[in-house]
Homo-oligomer: A and B are copies of this chain.
Amino acid sequence: MTGTLHGVGVGPGDPELVTLKAARLISAASVIAYPAPDSGIGFARSIVADLIPETAVEIPMVVPMRPDRFAAESVYAEVAGILADHLRGGVDVVALCEGDPFFYGSFMYLHDRLAGRFPVVVVPGVSSLCAVTAASGRPFCARAEGVTVLPATLSEEDLEARLSAAEAAAVMKLGRHFPKARRVIDRLGMTGRATFVSHASLPNQRVAPLEEAPDEAPYFSMIVIPGRDAHA
């Protein structure tokens, strides 16, 4: 009997936005893997720190920041090898993931390396998108509206073309691309409908109409533009 790999979404940051299922699996885990920076404990782990058993074997995945994708691949390959040993020995493994595992989640790097060989269960989590719209205080989409989620890393032209065709829209991964996203939203006349949210659900959460947003945006920030139907 091989073990099962659980890809567990731990939500956007508030430890109370963890699901009962995630809490149960983490509390009972004997092997836990999670993304981690060069120093410090990592965001996903910090969210569920109070749930991790003292006896659990912890496997931090120290993934170099972009653009060194090749180095990241080798870290995931190495960690996948370690997890495969546990799984082969019949031990279940929990891999933590910020937000939701399959919504821009890092879990796919482990999934693609292990899913063919071992049973995998994905536990969905509260996505950053839902945390941001909740924080924005305005309904996001309704009825026959489409939703468009775009990374701000797109080119200015691409971002503009796609946003102009969108109904409810969110622009993610702002960071240094924030001024570009703002220019595009301004040109499209959408600024009045747009809300800026950073660190959604965390104590340092910040919510502002886009025109009153700060000049700089962290990576964990988003602009949401509700659809026109999203009102009663």
> Which residues of A does B touch, CB under 8 Å?
9, 11-12, 14-21, 23-24, 73, 76, 100-105, 107-109, 111-113, 115, 120, 122-127, 129-131, 133-151, 153-154, 162, 165, 201, 230-232
Across the interface, which residues of B come within 8 angstroms of A133, CB to CB? 100, 102-103, 122, 124
Number of copies of chain A assembled together = 2
Complex interface: chain B residues within 8 A of A231 (CB): 108, 112
Q: Please name the residue on chain B nearest to A149 by beta carbon.
A: B147
Inter-subunit contact A130/B149 (CB<8 Å): no
Asked whether, in the complex, the Cβ of B108 is within 8 Å of the Cβ of A139, the reply is yes
Q: How far is the CA of A142 from the CA of B154 in the complex (A)?
A: 13
Asked if B139 contacts A162 (CB within 8 A), the reply is no
Partner of A11, one of B19, B115, B232: B19
In the bound complex, do residue B148 and residue A147 qualify as a contact, i.e. CB atoms below 8 Å apart? yes
Are A24 and B19 in contact, with the CB atoms below 8 A?
no
Contact between A232 and B142, CB atoms less than 8 A apart: no
- Is A12 touching B124 in the complex (CB atoms < 8 A)? yes
Closest CB-CB distance, A57 to chain B, in whole Å?
A: 23
